[in-house]
Amino acid sequence: MSALSEAIALKVHYAVGAPAWRSRAGPGRVVRAVDGVDLQIAAGETVALVGESGCGKSTLGRALLRLEEPTAGVVRFEERDLTTLSAEHLRQRRAAMRMVFQDPFSSLNPRMRIGEALAEPLLVHGLCNSRSARERVAEMLDVVGLDRRVAARYPHEFSGGQRQRVAIARAVIGNPRFVVADEPLSALDISVQAQILDLFADLKDRFALTYLFVSHDLAVVRHVADRVAVMYLGRIVEMGAAEDVFARPAHPYTQALLDAVPVPDPTRERARIIGRLQGELPSPMAPPSGCRFHPRCPRAMSICQRDDPSLLPVASGQAVACWLYAPEGGAPAAERTPVSLASP
Protein backbone atom coordinates (compact mmCIF):
# COMPACT_ATOMS: atom_id res chain seq x y z
CA MET A 1 0.00 0.00 0.00
CA SER A 2 1.31 3.43 -0.83
CA ALA A 3 1.80 6.03 1.83
CA LEU A 4 -0.47 9.01 2.37
CA SER A 5 2.31 11.02 3.97
CA GLU A 6 5.95 10.19 3.62
CA ALA A 7 9.35 11.51 4.63
CA ILE A 8 12.49 10.24 2.90
CA ALA A 9 15.93 10.91 4.39
CA LEU A 10 14.44 14.08 5.83
CA LYS A 11 16.62 16.61 7.60
CA VAL A 12 15.51 19.90 9.09
CA HIS A 13 18.32 21.98 10.55
CA TYR A 14 17.93 25.40 12.10
CA ALA A 15 20.67 27.98 11.96
CA VAL A 16 20.87 29.73 15.31
CA GLY A 17 22.60 32.94 16.27
CA ALA A 18 23.99 35.47 13.81
CA PRO A 19 24.67 34.33 10.24
CA ALA A 20 28.27 33.24 9.71
CA TRP A 21 29.32 36.34 7.79
CA ARG A 22 28.44 38.73 10.58
CA SER A 23 29.32 36.70 13.63
CA ARG A 24 32.73 37.17 15.28
CA ALA A 25 32.51 33.80 16.96
CA GLY A 26 32.93 32.02 13.65
CA PRO A 27 30.22 30.27 11.67
CA GLY A 28 26.69 30.20 13.06
CA ARG A 29 25.66 27.01 14.83
CA VAL A 30 23.14 24.52 13.58
CA VAL A 31 20.42 22.70 15.50
CA ARG A 32 19.86 19.30 13.90
CA ALA A 33 16.22 19.11 14.93
CA VAL A 34 15.38 16.36 12.42
CA ASP A 35 18.44 14.57 11.17
CA GLY A 36 17.66 11.80 8.72
CA VAL A 37 14.16 10.45 9.14
CA ASP A 38 12.28 7.96 6.98
CA LEU A 39 8.61 7.62 7.79
CA GLN A 40 5.58 6.37 5.93
CA ILE A 41 2.04 6.91 7.13
CA ALA A 42 -0.65 4.90 5.38
CA ALA A 43 -4.15 6.20 4.79
CA GLY A 44 -6.44 5.44 7.71
CA GLU A 45 -3.85 4.72 10.36
CA THR A 46 -2.86 6.63 13.48
CA VAL A 47 0.85 6.88 13.98
CA ALA A 48 2.05 8.09 17.35
CA LEU A 49 5.33 9.98 17.55
CA VAL A 50 6.90 9.83 21.00
CA GLY A 51 10.12 11.00 22.60
CA GLU A 52 11.50 13.45 25.11
CA SER A 53 10.89 17.15 24.74
CA GLY A 54 13.35 18.70 22.28
CA CYS A 55 13.95 15.55 20.25
CA GLY A 56 12.38 17.03 17.13
CA LYS A 57 8.79 15.74 17.18
CA SER A 58 7.16 19.08 16.42
CA THR A 59 9.69 19.87 13.73
CA LEU A 60 9.05 16.52 12.03
CA GLY A 61 5.29 17.02 12.26
CA ARG A 62 5.49 20.47 10.73
CA ALA A 63 7.92 19.29 8.07
CA LEU A 64 5.49 16.56 6.94
CA LEU A 65 3.03 19.37 6.21
CA ARG A 66 5.82 21.38 4.61
CA LEU A 67 5.49 24.09 7.25
CA GLU A 68 9.24 23.78 7.67
CA GLU A 69 11.80 24.05 4.93
CA PRO A 70 13.62 20.69 4.68
CA THR A 71 17.40 21.01 4.74
CA ALA A 72 17.66 17.74 2.86
CA GLY A 73 15.40 14.91 1.80
CA VAL A 74 11.89 14.72 0.47
CA VAL A 75 8.41 15.10 1.90
CA ARG A 76 5.52 13.61 -0.02
CA PHE A 77 1.81 13.83 0.43
CA GLU A 78 -0.46 11.61 -1.64
CA GLU A 79 2.48 10.70 -3.84
CA ARG A 80 3.35 14.30 -4.64
CA ASP A 81 6.68 15.80 -3.65
CA LEU A 82 5.81 18.82 -1.51
CA THR A 83 9.31 20.24 -1.63
CA THR A 84 9.15 21.06 -5.33
CA LEU A 85 5.61 22.43 -5.34
CA SER A 86 5.09 26.11 -6.08
CA ALA A 87 3.84 28.23 -3.20
CA GLU A 88 0.34 28.43 -4.66
CA HIS A 89 0.07 24.70 -5.39
CA LEU A 90 1.32 23.95 -1.90
CA ARG A 91 -1.30 26.30 -0.48
CA GLN A 92 -4.00 24.44 -2.37
CA ARG A 93 -2.76 21.08 -1.02
CA ARG A 94 -3.39 22.42 2.47
CA ALA A 95 -7.08 21.78 1.95
CA ALA A 96 -6.22 18.12 2.55
CA MET A 97 -3.56 18.29 5.28
CA ARG A 98 -3.93 20.12 8.56
CA MET A 99 -2.50 20.60 12.00
CA VAL A 100 -3.71 20.87 15.58
CA PHE A 101 -1.30 22.77 17.79
CA GLN A 102 -0.28 22.13 21.35
CA ASP A 103 -1.43 25.39 22.89
CA PRO A 104 -5.04 26.35 22.12
CA PHE A 105 -4.44 29.74 23.73
CA SER A 106 -1.96 30.79 21.07
CA SER A 107 -3.19 28.93 18.00
CA LEU A 108 -6.39 30.97 17.54
CA ASN A 109 -6.34 34.55 16.30
CA PRO A 110 -7.59 36.63 19.26
CA ARG A 111 -9.31 39.08 16.91
CA MET A 112 -11.27 36.56 14.90
CA ARG A 113 -14.66 35.26 15.95
CA ILE A 114 -14.93 31.49 16.30
CA GLY A 115 -17.29 31.34 13.32
CA GLU A 116 -14.89 33.27 11.10
CA ALA A 117 -11.96 31.12 12.20
CA LEU A 118 -13.86 27.94 11.33
CA ALA A 119 -15.08 29.28 7.99
CA GLU A 120 -11.55 30.24 6.98
CA PRO A 121 -10.48 26.85 5.53
CA LEU A 122 -13.74 26.62 3.58
CA LEU A 123 -13.40 30.10 2.14
CA VAL A 124 -9.71 30.14 1.29
CA HIS A 125 -10.06 26.88 -0.62
CA GLY A 126 -13.25 27.98 -2.32
CA LEU A 127 -15.15 25.02 -0.89
CA CYS A 128 -18.29 27.06 -0.40
CA ASN A 129 -19.60 30.60 -0.33
CA SER A 130 -19.88 32.52 2.90
CA ARG A 131 -23.59 31.68 3.34
CA SER A 132 -23.22 27.94 3.11
CA ALA A 133 -20.00 28.24 5.12
CA ARG A 134 -22.07 29.48 8.05
CA GLU A 135 -24.19 26.34 7.89
CA ARG A 136 -21.14 24.07 7.62
CA VAL A 137 -19.57 25.84 10.59
CA ALA A 138 -22.70 25.34 12.69
CA GLU A 139 -22.74 21.63 11.81
CA MET A 140 -19.08 21.30 12.70
CA LEU A 141 -19.67 22.99 16.05
CA ASP A 142 -22.31 20.32 16.74
CA VAL A 143 -19.84 17.60 15.80
CA VAL A 144 -17.15 18.85 18.19
CA GLY A 145 -19.68 19.34 20.98
CA LEU A 146 -19.97 23.11 21.10
CA ASP A 147 -23.07 25.26 21.04
CA ARG A 148 -23.78 26.76 17.61
CA ARG A 149 -24.01 30.19 19.14
CA VAL A 150 -20.31 30.25 20.04
CA ALA A 151 -19.66 31.21 16.39
CA ALA A 152 -20.29 34.84 17.30
CA ARG A 153 -17.79 34.88 20.15
CA TYR A 154 -14.05 35.43 20.51
CA PRO A 155 -11.50 32.81 21.63
CA HIS A 156 -10.67 34.53 24.93
CA GLU A 157 -14.18 33.76 26.17
CA PHE A 158 -13.45 30.03 26.26
CA SER A 159 -11.58 27.53 28.39
CA GLY A 160 -8.59 25.59 27.12
CA GLY A 161 -10.66 22.50 26.39
CA GLN A 162 -13.28 24.46 24.48
CA ARG A 163 -10.62 26.28 22.50
CA GLN A 164 -8.96 23.02 21.60
CA ARG A 165 -12.35 21.81 20.33
CA VAL A 166 -12.47 24.91 18.13
CA ALA A 167 -8.91 24.31 16.91
CA ILE A 168 -9.74 20.69 16.14
CA ALA A 169 -12.92 21.70 14.32
CA ARG A 170 -10.84 24.09 12.24
CA ALA A 171 -8.38 21.32 11.43
CA VAL A 172 -11.04 18.89 10.21
CA ILE A 173 -13.58 21.18 8.52
CA GLY A 174 -13.62 20.88 4.74
CA ASN A 175 -12.69 17.17 4.68
CA PRO A 176 -8.92 17.01 4.95
CA ARG A 177 -7.35 13.53 4.82
CA PHE A 178 -4.33 13.96 7.06
CA VAL A 179 -4.08 15.71 10.44
CA VAL A 180 -0.92 16.24 12.46
CA ALA A 181 -1.84 16.71 16.11
CA ASP A 182 1.14 18.11 18.02
CA GLU A 183 0.69 17.23 21.70
CA PRO A 184 -2.93 18.40 21.53
CA LEU A 185 -3.66 17.34 25.11
CA SER A 186 -0.62 18.51 27.00
CA ALA A 187 -1.82 22.08 27.58
CA LEU A 188 -5.18 20.87 28.89
CA ASP A 189 -6.47 19.94 32.32
CA ILE A 190 -6.28 16.23 33.06
CA SER A 191 -10.06 16.21 33.43
CA VAL A 192 -10.69 17.27 29.83
CA GLN A 193 -7.88 15.30 28.18
CA ALA A 194 -9.99 12.14 27.94
CA GLN A 195 -12.87 14.03 26.31
CA ILE A 196 -10.60 15.55 23.69
CA LEU A 197 -9.02 12.17 23.04
CA ASP A 198 -12.51 10.71 22.47
CA LEU A 199 -13.22 13.57 20.11
CA PHE A 200 -10.14 12.69 18.05
CA ALA A 201 -11.29 9.07 17.85
CA ASP A 202 -14.82 10.09 16.89
CA LEU A 203 -13.62 12.44 14.15
CA LYS A 204 -11.30 9.84 12.73
CA ASP A 205 -14.21 7.44 12.21
CA ARG A 206 -16.58 10.10 11.00
CA PHE A 207 -14.27 11.69 8.45
CA ALA A 208 -11.92 8.78 7.64
CA LEU A 209 -8.88 10.69 8.84
CA THR A 210 -5.24 9.72 9.12
CA TYR A 211 -3.37 11.03 12.15
CA LEU A 212 0.15 11.68 13.16
CA PHE A 213 -0.35 12.01 16.88
CA VAL A 214 2.60 13.56 18.71
CA SER A 215 2.68 12.86 22.41
CA HIS A 216 4.99 12.34 25.31
CA ASP A 217 2.28 10.49 27.24
CA LEU A 218 2.66 6.79 26.56
CA ALA A 219 -0.66 5.94 28.22
CA VAL A 220 -2.40 8.12 25.64
CA VAL A 221 -0.39 6.63 22.80
CA ARG A 222 -1.27 3.10 23.83
CA HIS A 223 -4.91 4.15 23.66
CA VAL A 224 -4.94 5.68 20.17
CA ALA A 225 -2.02 4.46 18.09
CA ASP A 226 -1.91 1.78 15.42
CA ARG A 227 1.80 2.28 15.06
CA VAL A 228 4.39 4.00 17.22
CA ALA A 229 7.55 5.84 16.16
CA VAL A 230 10.04 6.59 18.93
CA MET A 231 12.25 9.56 18.32
CA TYR A 232 15.58 10.42 19.90
CA LEU A 233 17.68 13.48 19.01
CA GLY A 234 16.34 13.98 15.52
CA ARG A 235 16.15 10.29 14.56
CA ILE A 236 13.57 7.57 14.71
CA VAL A 237 15.12 4.83 16.83
CA GLU A 238 12.24 2.37 16.90
CA MET A 239 9.07 1.97 14.92
CA GLY A 240 6.41 -0.68 14.79
CA ALA A 241 2.89 -1.80 15.55
CA ALA A 242 1.75 -0.38 18.87
CA GLU A 243 1.14 -3.86 20.41
CA ASP A 244 4.65 -4.97 19.48
CA VAL A 245 6.40 -1.87 20.73
CA PHE A 246 4.52 -1.84 24.01
CA ALA A 247 4.78 -5.58 24.60
CA ARG A 248 8.37 -6.07 23.47
CA PRO A 249 10.20 -2.77 23.27
CA ALA A 250 13.47 -3.44 21.49
CA HIS A 251 15.52 -0.27 21.74
CA PRO A 252 17.04 0.46 25.16
CA TYR A 253 15.62 3.97 24.90
CA THR A 254 12.08 2.68 24.30
CA GLN A 255 12.54 0.29 27.20
CA ALA A 256 13.55 3.19 29.41
CA LEU A 257 10.53 5.20 28.31
CA LEU A 258 8.17 2.32 29.04
CA ASP A 259 9.78 1.52 32.36
CA ALA A 260 8.73 4.90 33.60
CA VAL A 261 5.28 4.03 34.90
CA PRO A 262 2.90 6.74 33.75
CA VAL A 263 2.38 9.29 36.44
CA PRO A 264 -0.40 11.82 35.90
CA ASP A 265 2.09 14.67 35.97
CA PRO A 266 4.24 15.20 32.89
CA THR A 267 7.10 16.90 34.70
CA ARG A 268 7.39 14.13 37.25
CA GLU A 269 7.10 11.52 34.57
CA ARG A 270 9.86 13.19 32.63
CA ALA A 271 12.00 13.30 35.75
CA ARG A 272 11.55 9.56 36.16
CA ILE A 273 12.58 8.89 32.59
CA ILE A 274 15.65 11.03 32.91
CA GLY A 275 16.39 9.51 36.30
CA ARG A 276 16.50 6.03 34.89
CA LEU A 277 18.64 7.04 31.94
CA GLN A 278 22.18 8.09 32.55
CA GLY A 279 23.10 11.72 31.97
CA GLU A 280 21.34 14.59 30.28
CA LEU A 281 19.73 14.74 26.86
CA PRO A 282 22.65 15.84 24.64
CA SER A 283 22.35 19.05 22.63
CA PRO A 284 20.94 18.60 19.12
CA MET A 285 23.66 21.07 18.05
CA ALA A 286 26.36 18.51 18.79
CA PRO A 287 24.86 15.00 18.72
CA PRO A 288 27.15 12.26 20.07
CA SER A 289 29.20 10.22 17.62
CA GLY A 290 28.05 6.79 16.57
CA CYS A 291 24.68 5.92 18.05
CA ARG A 292 23.26 9.15 19.45
CA PHE A 293 21.94 7.30 22.47
CA HIS A 294 25.20 5.65 23.50
CA PRO A 295 26.26 8.09 26.27
CA ARG A 296 23.03 7.32 28.14
CA CYS A 297 22.55 3.73 27.13
CA PRO A 298 22.80 1.07 29.84
CA ARG A 299 23.84 -1.48 27.22
CA ALA A 300 26.28 0.56 25.16
CA MET A 301 29.09 -1.30 23.39
CA SER A 302 32.28 -0.03 21.87
CA ILE A 303 30.81 -0.02 18.35
CA CYS A 304 28.04 2.27 19.51
CA GLN A 305 30.50 5.08 20.10
CA ARG A 306 31.81 4.88 16.58
CA ASP A 307 29.16 3.71 14.14
CA ASP A 308 25.68 4.97 13.60
CA PRO A 309 23.14 2.10 13.51
CA SER A 310 20.41 2.22 10.90
CA LEU A 311 16.75 1.38 11.35
CA LEU A 312 16.36 -2.31 10.50
CA PRO A 313 13.62 -4.89 11.09
CA VAL A 314 14.02 -7.18 14.08
CA ALA A 315 12.47 -10.51 14.95
CA SER A 316 9.66 -9.15 17.10
CA GLY A 317 8.21 -7.27 14.13
CA GLN A 318 9.27 -3.68 14.54
CA ALA A 319 12.25 -1.78 13.12
CA VAL A 320 15.03 -0.69 15.47
CA ALA A 321 18.20 1.36 15.12
CA CYS A 322 20.45 -0.41 17.61
CA TRP A 323 23.64 -2.46 17.37
CA LEU A 324 22.22 -5.01 19.82
CA TYR A 325 20.07 -6.27 16.98
CA ALA A 326 22.56 -6.00 14.14
CA PRO A 327 22.49 -9.10 11.96
CA GLU A 328 25.27 -11.59 12.57
CA GLY A 329 28.50 -10.31 11.13
CA GLY A 330 27.26 -6.75 11.33
CA ALA A 331 29.93 -6.05 13.89
CA PRO A 332 32.93 -7.99 15.17
CA ALA A 333 32.13 -9.88 18.35
CA ALA A 334 34.82 -8.03 20.26
CA GLU A 335 33.02 -4.77 19.66
CA ARG A 336 29.82 -6.08 21.14
CA THR A 337 31.22 -6.24 24.60
CA PRO A 338 29.54 -3.76 26.89
CA VAL A 339 31.66 -0.76 27.82
CA SER A 340 31.51 0.69 31.25
CA LEU A 341 30.09 4.16 31.29
CA ALA A 342 30.93 4.80 34.89
CA SER A 343 34.58 5.40 34.14
CA PRO A 344 35.35 8.18 31.65
Partner 1 sequence: MRPVPWLGVLGSLLIAVAVAVAVTAPWIAPAKPTQLDLRARLAPPAWVDGGKSNHLLGTDNVGRDVLSRVIWGSRISLTVGTAAALLGMLLGSTLGLLAGYFRGGVDAVISWLINVQLAFPFTLLAIFLLGTVGGGFAAVVVVLALATWVNYARIVRGQVLAIRERDYVLAARAVGVPTGRTLLRYILPNTAAPIVVVASFSTAQAILTQAALSFLGVGIDPSVPSWGAMLDEGRNYLQSAWWIAVFPGLAIALTVLGVNLLGDWLRDWLDPKSAA
Q: Where on the chain is the footprint of ligand ADP (CB under 6 A)?
A: 14, 16, 31, 33, 51, 53-59, 284
SS3 call for 264: coil
Residues in region 45-64 near Mg ion by CB under 5 A: 58
Least distance between ligand ADP and beta carbon 37 (Å): 11
Rank residues 157 and 259 by Cβ distance to partner 1 and give the closer one.
Answer: 157
Q: Choose between 91 and 268: whose C-beta lies nearer to partner 1.
A: 91
- Write down the least CB distance from residue 65 to partner 1, Å: 6
Distance (Å) of CA 22 to CA 15, 80, 196, 286: 13, 38, 47, 22
How buried is residue 89: exposed, middle or buried, by Cβ count under 10 Å (0-12/13-18/19+)?
A: exposed
Nearer of residues 56 and 121 to ligand ADP, judged by Cβ = 56
In 3D space, the residue among 160, 162, 161 whose CA is nearest the CA of residue 149 turns out to be: 162
| Beta strand segments in the chain, E | 3-16, 29-42, 46-50, 72-77, 80-81, 97-100, 178-182, 210-214, 227-232, 235-241, 312-313, 319-320
CA distance 1 to 284: 34
Min dist CB 102 to partner 1, Å, is 8
CB of 99 to partner 1, least distance (A): 4
Nearer to partner 1, 97 or 141 (CB): 97
Of 55 and 320, nearer to ligand ADP (C-beta) is 55
Q: Show the binding pattern over residues 266-285: x = contacts Mg ion (CB under 5 A), - = does not.
A: --------------------
Q: How far is the CB of 103 from ligand ADP (least distance, A)?
A: 12
Number of Cβ atoms within 10 Å of the Cβ of 318: 25
- Binding partner selected for residue 154 from ligand ADP, Mg ion, partner 1, none, CB under the kind-specific 5 to 8 Å limit: partner 1
- Residue burial 25-50, b: 16+ Cβ < 10 Å; e: rest: eeeeeebbbbbbbbbbbeeebbbbbb
Whichever of 55 and 133 has its CB closer to ligand ADP, that residue is 55
Cβ neighbourhood burial of 16 (10 Å; 0-12, 13-18, 19+): exposed
Choose the contact partner of 18 out of Mg ion, ligand ADP, partner 1, none; CB within 5 to 8 A by kind.
none
The binding site for partner 1 (CB under 8 A) comprises 62, 65, 67, 91-95, 98-99, 101, 103, 106-112, 120-121, 124-125, 154, 156-157, 167, 170-171
Residue 29 interacting partner from ligand ADP, partner 1, Mg ion, none (CB closer than 5 to 8 Å by kind): none
What is the torsional sign of CA 63, 66, 72, 75? Answer: positive
Write down the least CB distance from residue 211 to Mg ion, Å.
16
DSSP β-ladder status, 72-77 and 97-100: unpaired
Smallest separation, CB 194 to ligand ADP (Å): 23
Minimum CB distance to partner 1 smaller for 16 or for 124: 124
Which strand (E) or helix (H) includes residue 302? Answer: helix 302-306
Q: Does 215 bind Mg ion (CB under 5 A)?
A: no
Question: Whose CA is closest to 216, among 253, 171, 182, 255?
Answer: 182
| Closer to partner 1 by Cβ: residue 124 or 219 | 124
Contact positions toward Mg ion, by CB under 5 A?
A: 58
